[in-house]
């Protein structure tokens, strides 16, 4: 299972050149296996960014989410186990969305595709790939 960090989901959806060639191949392969996922917290994060006018998605966010899920993207839930794991991450920065995304990745035995330098440099046992590659 490949879990997309929020910004990677947005890059993928917009066709951004920020997403590297290797990452596109990883995404395509995971999608073909129905193993491409996003944490439910990413939809909260996108909504918060839009509410703060730091992001603009042209369509209704509920409809956007539904289209992504209907296309085959898997939504990983945020449950109590993920919350506990997120709170217990050692030597990890305090951003709650990042903590939940990393915890969901760990909880579900997935690999995270991210370009977030703080996540990529973290010394935890997380399987991760740089989305810019």
> pLDDT of the chain along its 133 residues, tens only?
999 999 999 999 999 999 999 999 999 999 999 999 999 999 999 999 999 999 989 889 999 999 999 999 999 999 999 999 999 999 999 899 999 999 999 999 999 999 999 999 999 999 999 999 9
Q: What is the pLDDT of residue 70?
A: 97
CB atoms within 10 A of CB 131: 26
Q: What is the pLDDT of residue 122?
A: 97
| Cα 18 from chain centroid (whole Å) | 15
Q: What is the pLDDT of residue 58?
A: 85
Q: Where are the alpha helices (DSSP H) in 33-115?
A: 40-51, 61-70, 80-87, 96-107
pTM strictly above 0.85: yes
- The CATH architecture that domain 2-130 belongs to is 3-Layer(aba) Sandwich (3.40)
Q: What is the dihedral of CA 127, 129, 130, 133, to 10 degrees?
A: 160
């Amino acid at each position: 299972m490949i879990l997309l960090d929020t910004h990677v989901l947005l890059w993928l959806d917009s066709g951004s050149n920020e997403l590297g060639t290797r990452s596109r191949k990883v995404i395509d392969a995971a999608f073909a296996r129905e193993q491409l996922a996003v944490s439910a917290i990413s939809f909260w994060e996108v909504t918060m960014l839009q509410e703060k006018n730091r992001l603009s998605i042209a369509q209704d966010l509920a409809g956007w989410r539904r289209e992504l899920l209907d296309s085959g993207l898997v939504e990983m839930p945020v449950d109590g186990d993920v919350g506990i794991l997120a709170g217990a991450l050692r030597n990890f920065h305090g951003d709650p969305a990042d903590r939940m995304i990393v915890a969901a990745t760990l909880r579900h035995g997935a690999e995270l595709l991210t370009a977030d330098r703080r996540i990529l440099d973290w010394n935890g046992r997380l399987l991760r790939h740089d989305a810019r590659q």
